[in-house]
């Protein structure tokens, strides 16, 4: 099941706020603070990406080749 619109929107808002915080942190905070903020942004992006992959797996039909387009067509 895909993320609901309200959850996706909230995650996008959180990511935007964290990017703003990272921009400010990069100017004056210690590196571990920037790293922590960047990890939170990456976690949000990973969550939304993996949710898309799980949806594709859930909707896979018997006999499908398992290819989903440009992400998996690596020069075949």
Looking up tokens 């992959």 gives 53
> Rounded mean pLDDT of 17-42?
98
Which helix (H) or strand (E) is 30 found in, with range? none
Closest CA to 54 of 37, 73, 68: 68
Calculate mean pLDDT across residues 18-47: 97
Domain residue ranges in the chain: 31-57
Q: What does the pLDDT look like over 21-33, one tens digit per residue?
A: 999 999 999 999 9
pTM above the 0.75 mark?
no
For the segment 47-72, what is each residue's pLDDT rounded down to a tens digit? 988 888 888 788 777 777 666 665 55
């Amino acid at each position: 099941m895909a993320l609901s619109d309200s959850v996706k929107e909230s995650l996008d808002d959180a990511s935007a706020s964290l990017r703003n915080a990272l921009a400010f942190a990069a100017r004056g905070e210690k590196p571990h603070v920037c790293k922590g903020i960047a990890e939170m942004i990456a976690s949000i992006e990973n969550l939304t990406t993996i949710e898309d992959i799980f949806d594709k797996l859930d909707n896979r039909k018997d006999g499908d080749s398992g290819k989903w387009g440009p992400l998996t067509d690596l020069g075949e």
